């Protein structure tokens, strides 16, 4: 089982800038997008940027 690391995901939701924390395995944009789609099922998520949380 891969170790998960806490990341901060910065993104836009319907044009509004937001951020979330998530534990991801690799910290890729695709992995972050999948996590955001679970939280925001019917809204448009764009401009995703992922970085390690401090």
- pLDDT at 44 > cutoff 90: no
Domains identified in the chain, total number: 1
pLDDT score at 32: 94
Query: Of all residues in the chain, what percent carry a pLDDT higher than 70?
Result: 98
Domain that holds residue 36: 5-52
Q: Classify residue 7 by burial, with Cβ atoms within 10 Å: 0-12, 13-18, 19+.
A: buried
pLDDT score at 19: 95
Mean pLDDT of 24-52: 92
pLDDT score at 7: 96
């Amino acid at each position: 089982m891969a170790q998960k690391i806490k990341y901060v995901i910065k993104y836009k939701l319907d044009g509004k800038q937001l951020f979330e924390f998530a534990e991801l395995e690799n910290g890729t944009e695709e992995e972050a997008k999948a996590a955001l789609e679970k939280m925001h099922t019917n809204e448009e998520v764009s401009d995703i940027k992922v970085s390690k949380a401090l």
